[in-house]
Structure 1
Amino acid sequence: MEAVVMAVAVEFLLLAGAGSLAGDEAREAEAVRALVARLLGPGPAADFSVSVERALAAESGLDTYSLSGGGGARVRVRGSTGVAAAAGLHRYLRDFCGCHVAWSGSQLRLPRPLPAVPEELTEATPNRYRYYQNVCTQSYSFVWWDWARWEREIDWMVLNGINLALAWSGQEAIWQRVYLAMGLTQSEIDEYFTGPAFLAWGRMGNLHTWGGPLPFSWHLKQLYLQHRILDRMRSFGMIPVLPAFAGHVPKAITRVFPQVNVTQLSSWGHFNCSYSCSFLLAPGDPIFSLIGSLFLRELTKEFGTDHIYGADTFNEMQPPSSEPSYLAAATTAVYEAMIAVDPDAVWLLQGWLFQHQPQFWGPTQIKAVLRAVPLGRLLVLDLFAESQPVYSRTASFQGQPFIWCMLHNFGGNHGLFGALEAVNQGPKAARLFPNSTMVGTGMAPEGINQNEVVYALMAELGWRKDPVPDLVAWVTSFADRRYGISHGDAEAAWRLLLRSVYNCSGEACSGHNHSPLVKRPSLQMNTTVWYNRSDVFEAWRLLLTSAPTLAASPIFRYDLLDITRQAIQELVSLYYEKARTAYLNKELVPLLRAGGLLAYELLPALDEVLASDNHFLLGSWLAQARAVAISEAEANFYEQNSRYQLTLWGPVGNILDYANKQLAGLVADYYAPRWQLFMQALGNCLAQGIPFQQRQFDKNVFPLEQAFVLNSKRYPSQPQGNTMDLAKKIFLKYYPQWVAG
């Protein structure tokens, strides 16, 4: 009987977002044709015929594409939706033309004539949804984007077959309207909102006030962006997920409604209640449904709807009660506020809460939340399933449909990392789980623009019923497509990376970069890695050997820089170990030698090579922030928001170095000074015969960290130097010492 109930729930959810599926076939086809022209140029685009035909999915009810033609004739791409047609186009470019599309760039050298499809190829996805984004991605990666950058990202989404994605821009403007209508003052609203770089955590109730207030111009620009984002997503037949009310309110609500029943939650993320301790409405309070319905009504009036809404009431925050009756009531209140406005509403819930606090969320508590919403009306994201799946310990989320997600990256960290075998095997295992209610796959990184091989595999798995049979062969082909040419040394380099940095398993797969390089120095830093560093160094050598042949490829130069960055990261750990050992052995000269190399040679060399590529420039990131502003004061405000997020995160280093990046300028003026001070402190302690005091060092280093955030120094937004020459110079200096020697 349970299996039947689950099947009914899944079947119901298959109809969610049906409004977009019943849309205009001609409009979606035209959207894909425009994409082809943007991607390939108008000339090559003329060689492709695109159509959208709902009938293609008649048998399975799932997104389907069909490829035919080529070999002197036009390539015919048909899809049951615009997303399916775009995914079919990408399949042709990838598998027939050897092309590659990624965040760092594209390799789109088309063979002439276009290769023939020997016989018509028809592919249906095994699941209803291919999901994209994490609530945090909006802040860690998207926060300063203009429409041009959003357009490229939506193109990337549809080429990878994404048909379900968050669209959360502009919601603060709607909230402002609601709160003003309810009697809050503008100053009370300004005090409540976080700054732009921290909005994700304001939206989930973790933070308020910090980094704010939001300028009036911010609201106008975000409304404009949201309309364009939604229009483009819908033009492809994609389902945008809009936000809904989760129960968190400004403290000022208690002034307007003195009798309102609210609970102040505990603090979050080492913040005090000046910036945290969210006010949560009691589920039975009539104000709950009033605010929830007011917001959703105003939101959908402004933006329309596709009937799927995201809300997270207890993200990384312990509920005030573990009683099942309370948890069910809190969940019911959120859902009922949705259906009061949209009877067809489906709630998209990040399942992170069950993974993050397992000691609180026992089986009874989990069941109370999941069963408080009718089966099929709650769509759960198993957010970190490649490492710590929740579906397997919750009876497939108590029968609620779920999406198997790969989280992979926390904070937008740089660093080569991945669990490709777990990613490859995970979706099928979830699909075959007893009474499985899996309805899709997803990519949910906190930050993008890193480790593109991981996302290429995950996107492909959204259209595969079975895992890739041979990951070694797959990554070899990936290298060939990425550079547009087969090169033995480059292929061998990627195979080494597959067996090392991309072969994470077990507890090591946290998704964070814990390298000493990007952490405040101490004597207790962990340098353990799950792979053999010699594989990284050898892959570095092999890519450098490939350089004379592949140097014309911008993506190759990006990869060479990225692996050089990784190699230097490994070297920092090795020199740190030498310095720490020398300190513990009270050997001053070896300490000064290793510490000097790390702080005064390696880090400046890293900064110099990072400066040779636009993707690794602090100046580019800060310039994006400043470009959003309409005044110098706003530009300075946005830049400081961005600097805080990259480093201290809060006023006193509350979530220190969580969103760490390796960017030119950041290495030179933030990481390097910390390491220099640390090595000086260790040397002084040895020279004076006194123990190193971490607490005193933390106190001394904080002004350096804060000075970086508060500084107004301008950084280049254009690359400087030659990546090849700089990488080779670093390699020749350090490789023999650690490998050949």
Structure 2
Amino acid sequence: MGTAPQLLLLLGLLGLLLLARAGAWGAAGDESRETAAVRALAARLLGPGPAAAFALSVERTLAAGPGTDVFVLSGGGARVRVRGSSGVAAAAGLHRYLRDFCGCHVAWSGAQLRLPRPLPAVPGELTEASPYRYRYYQNVCTHSYSFVWWDWARWEREIDWMALHGINLALAWSGQEAIWQRVYLALGLTQAEIDQHFTGPAFLAWGRMGNLHGWGGPLPHAWHLKQLYLQHRVLDRMRALGMTPVLPAFAGHVPKAVTRVFPQVNVTQLGSWGHFNCSYSCSFLLAPGDPLFPLIGSLFLRELNREFGTDHFYGADTFNEMQPPSSEPAYLAAATAAVYEAMTAVDPDAVWLLQGWLFQHQPEFWGPAQVGAVLGAVPQGRLLVLDLFAENQPVYTRTASFGGQPFIWCMLHNFGGNHGLFGALEAVNRGPAAARLFPNSTVVGTGIAPEGIGQNEVVYALMAELGWRKDPVPDLSAWVARFAEQRYGVAQPDAVLAWRLLLHSVYNCSGEACRGHNHSPLVRRPSLQMNTTVWYNRSDVFEAWRLLLKATPNLTASPAFRYDLLDVTRQGLQELVSLYYEEARAAYMRQELEGLLRAGGVLAYKLLPALDEVLASDHRFLLGSWLEQARAVAVSSAEADLYEQNSRYQLTLWGPEGNILDYANKQLAGLVADYYVPRWRLFVETLASSLARGVPFQQQQFNSDVFLLEQAFVLSRKRYPSQPQGDTVELARSTFLRFAPRKVAGTR
């Protein structure tokens, strides 16, 4: 530890912060505030006129006990009454009425809100109580993969979506770097040292978890100001609706420069992460017994709460995808206790929200003794664990319900914000109820925890509904038919058949294949070793594509239908890329140049350009929209260039050398044309050249050559359209007629 004068300085700084206003908040606002907030939500959603037909109110007395969320529906005709035990419960009741009585639909891609007149009557009084204390939302990574460039208008829509889907516990992590900067400056770090520590905006999630430092930075001063403003608005709205925001806490990671200010500090440099070298990873972790640990933790949390108030829930991840320096249970318990004690030194009512991903990610390290050490270091009930990937690899079943600590059964589903039709709806449907029935279960909630949002909306609709159900949906086939009808606002038999095919194919994943990450050759750096195996019959995708096209005369007015038609067309072309790749690879292995050029030519010169053209017809699939959002956050051209480069790197190379290559892959118009197409064309040309010259294909040399193309895309300043071009329906139809019939029969 540092010298005595340094300790006195730190204690003095902490004392000054302790004198600041506490700014504590309750877990929920009062009834009148929440009533006003949910009425304002209804007006935003429906418009002031239609919203006036709903009498919305918050009444705490509806709850059967502490932590119970209940809504009650009644009435009909000219007036429907919706009462909730909280703002969230009332919003969820409104959504339940709109969905099940009016056939409406609310999703990320848009809403279908055609209300019947008169409003359908609720038979008697419908009361529904959630069997779970918490319905949680977000993943630490979501803030980087999806939220990073959002303004308040976009956040407002998301919080509305959260409330309507019954979410009452969510991360609120914006603006924390501004707080850390204050703390670091108070500790004696220079601004230059802080700039070297923070990552760029698109990589903040991994800076917050200690995985990265410096990459993509520095953070401009204007970034901090805007994020503070945004965080205040987000927190105010969440609290007004009765949600509980989860704020960040100190997990033990410090900037390297701390060792300059405190030369005797006891820190351990952890190993590298994500194929980065130590110039950007290898976190510095304070020893749990070092006096600097509680001081830094208290300084940060006190300043955070002074700025934002608190609802007593805090998130921190010390060993996310990083192996601890010791497997000794005593060390792991001490490291865990140090984090918790730094919280409770400032907030005696603190509850620690811990992502349980570490136990799932490195099961060979986290044996029973190691897991038990972490779980036992925090008093029972004060550690709330997210079983983050429970739909695929639940941890609660092998840890005796996390050693008696309460946990939330979470569906992770999506990694990196990838596009690609995917889901494990049967496992998701059964999972929460199974967790409740587990012997001595301590499950207290359900969670939606994707790394990226804005895809596969059917999966999230089901998961949100399960937060209000004691039992699984009895018939998923009937459920998905209702989903299609609500989504499009009309019952269309061909569309229903298409959705049932998708339910039993792409959305029926099980086992190891259900990793939630798109491994299609389309979005991977080409090689001869690419795996094209899928768990479903590809002909089901092509048939669903055909059925949606058949349904177009009745549904073209539906924005949701047009979105789904594009998404299924995109998926169909993705399947075709795999099939043509297999043909090209087989031709190369047989040394058939003509076959290679034929299959490779279709893939690289026809299929992918056709995909880019279809994607360009919808603003939600435009690279230009994503880059424009990034640039719009900036206050100068230099900032705009930095933010755009962050975006381009995240979508492609991720790190300077392709460190986590294509992890956050998307299928966006512009990205396909200028990133995927050049790679595939170079691959086909290189294979053809190797056959013509009679020399083996050299993957290592190809990787070096293609990296130059990938890097050129990242460093480019080419502008892309942010407005759609072309008609989705016509493009989907013409693309199907050009490609799909050649490949439908007998494919798998």
* TM-score interval, smaller chain: over 0.9
SS of 1:679's equivalent in the other structure is helix
Alpha-carbon distance between aligned partners in 1 of 2:27 and 2:292, rounded to the nearest angstrom: 35
Alignment of 1:214-613 (within 5 A): 214-613=219-618
* 2:207 aligned partner: 202
TM-score, normalization: structure 2? 0.96
Structure 1 stretches of at least 4 aligned residues deviating more than 6 Å after TM superposition: none
Deviation at 1:451, TM superposition (A): 0.1
Could you say what secondary structure the match of 1:340 adopts?
helix
Q: Distance in 2 between matches of 1:740 and 1:521?
A: 26
* Deviation for aligned residue 1:58: 3.0
Q: Pick from 665, 670, 681: which aligns with 2:670?
A: 665
| Residue of structure 1 equivalent to 2:13 | none
Report if aligned partners of 1:32, 1:236 keep a CA contact under 8 Å in 2.
yes
Contact kept in structure 1, 2:269 and 2:284, CA below 8 Å: yes
Deviations 1:514-561 (A, max 9, x none): 000000000000000000000000000000000111001111000000
Of 643, 647, 668, 2:648 maps to 643
- The code of the aligned residue for 1:64 comes to V
Distance in 2 (alpha carbons) for counterparts of 1:306 and 1:61: 14
Match of 2:31 in 1: 25
Report the CA distance between 1:59 and its aligned residue.
4.8
Q: 2:49 aligns with which of 38, 43, 56?
A: 43
- Please give the alpha-carbon distance, in whole angstroms, between the structure 1 residues aligned to 2:700 and 2:660: 17
Change (3 A) 1:208 1:465: same
Would the aligned equivalents of 2:28 and 2:240 in 1 still touch at CA under 8 Å?
Answer: no
CA distance in structure 1 between the partners assigned to 2:493 and 2:293 by the alignment: 62
CA offsets 1:407-450 (integer angstroms, 9 cap, x no match)? 00000000000000000000000001000000000000000000
- Picking from 137, 155, 161, the partner of 2:160 is 155
**Structure 1 residues 61 and 292, CA gap change in structure 2 (3 angstroms):** closer
Alignment deviations for residues 662-692 of structure 1 (CA, whole Å, 9 cap, x no partner): 0000000000000000000010011111100
Amino acid at match of 1:28: E
Query: Would the aligned equivalents of 1:70 and 1:115 in 2 still touch at CA under 8 Å?
Result: yes
RMSD across aligned C-alpha pairs, in angstroms? 0.9
Measured in 2, the distance between the counterparts of 1:663 and 1:421 equals 29
Question: Are 1:708 and 2:713 an aligned pair?
Answer: yes
CA distance in 1, matches of 2:545, 2:617: 17
Which letter does structure 2 place at the counterpart of 1:52? V
* Structure 1 SS opposite 2:302: helix
Paired residue for 1:54? 60
Offset at 1:19? 6.3
| Inter-partner Cα distance in structure 1 for 2:29 and 2:113 | 31
Question: Residues 515, 216 of structure 1: CA spacing in aligned structure 2 closer, same or farther, 3 A cutoff?
Answer: same
The CA distance in 2 between the partners of 1:680 and 1:637, in whole Å, is 34
CA positional deviation for 1:127: 0.6
Aligned length, in residue pairs:
723
Tell me the secondary structure at the aligned position of residue 360 of structure 1.
coil
- Residue 71 of structure 1 deviates from its aligned partner by 2.2
Q: Deviations over 1:265-310 (max 9, x none)?
A: 0000000000000000000000000000000000000000000000
Give the partner amino acid of 1:103: W
Alpha carbons 2:27, 2:311 under 8 Å: kept: no
Does the CA-based 8 Å contact 1:37-1:45 persist in structure 2?
Answer: yes
The separation in 2 between residues aligned to 1:82 and 1:59, in whole angstroms, is: 16
CA contact (8 A) 1:20 1:238 kept: no
| Cα contact 2:28–2:239 (8 A) shared by 1 | no
SS at the partner of 2:294?
Answer: helix
- Identify if the C-alpha distance between structure 1 residues 61 and 146 changes in structure 2 by more than 3 Å, giving closer, same or farther: closer
Q: In the superposition, relative to structure 1, how do residues 572 and 302 fare at CA in structure 2: closer, same or farther (>3 Å)?
A: same
Whichever residue aligns with residue 422 of structure 1, its letter is A
Whether 1:722 and 2:723 are equivalent positions in the alignment is no
List runs of 5+ in structure 2 lacking aligned partners. 1-23
Helix, strand or coil at the partner of 2:703: helix
Q: Deviations over 1:197-254 (max 9, x none)?
A: 0000000000000000000000000000000000000000000000000000000000
Once the 2 structures are TM-superposed, how far is the Cα of residue 739 of structure 1 from its aligned partner?
1.9
Kept in 2, the 8 Å contact 1:196–1:638? The answer is yes
In 1, Cα distance between equivalents of 2:695 and 2:65 = 77
Name the amino acid aligned to 1:425. Answer: R
Query: Counterpart amino acid of 2:338?
Result: A
* 1:14 corresponding residue in structure 2: none
- Shift, 1:734, TM fit: 1.1
Structure-2 separation of matches of 1:660 and 1:370: 35
Distance 1:607 1:58 in 2: 54
Q: Cα distance 1:22–1:690, how it changes in 2: closer, same or farther (>3 A)?
A: closer
Residue in 1 that maps onto 2:172: 167
Letter in 2 for 1:476: A
Name the SS for the 2:630 alignment partner. Answer: helix
Does the aligned pair in 2 maintain the 1:648–1:657 contact within 8 Å?
Answer: yes
**What letter corresponds to residue 188 of structure 1 in structure 2?**
E
Matches of 1:63 and 1:101 in 2, distance apart? Answer: 21
For structure 1, list consecutive stretches of 5 or more residues without a partner in the other structure.
Answer: 1-17
Q: Tell me, yes or no, if the aligned pair for 1:21 and 1:81 is still in contact at 8 Å.
A: no
CA contact (8 A) 1:310 1:347 kept: yes
- Cα pair 2:95 2:165 within 8 Å, conserved: yes
* C-alpha distance in 2 between matches for 1:605 and 1:146: 33
In 1, are the aligned partners of 2:91 and 2:163 still within 8 Å (CA)?
yes
Contact 2:27 2:239 in 1 (8 A): no
Letter in 2 for 1:451: N
Task: Give the C-alpha shift of residue 735 in structure 1.
Answer: 1.9
CA shift for structure 1 position 23: 3.0
Distance in 2 between the 1:257 and 1:233 partners? 39
Q: Distance in 2 between matches of 1:22 and 1:577?
A: 56
The one-letter code matched in structure 2 to 1:358 is P
CA contact (8 A) 1:63 1:81 kept: yes
> Are 1:178 and 2:174 counterparts?
no
Residues 213 and 381 (structure 1), Cα distance of their counterparts in 2 relative to 1, 3 Å cut: same
Please state whether the residue corresponding to 2:551 is helix, strand or coil.
helix
Structure 2 CA distance for aligned equivalents of residues 578 and 642 of structure 1: 34
- Quick one: which amino acid aligns to residue 266 of structure 1? G
Match of 2:70 among 60, 64, 69: 64
> Which residue of the other structure, out of 83, 102, 110, is the alignment partner of 1:97?
102
In the aligned structure 2, how far is the partner of 1:424 from the partner of 1:581? 40
> What does residue 623 of structure 1 align with?
628
CA distance, structure 2, for counterparts of residue 456 and residue 422 of structure 1:
15
CA distance, structure 2, for counterparts of residue 626 and residue 534 of structure 1? 41
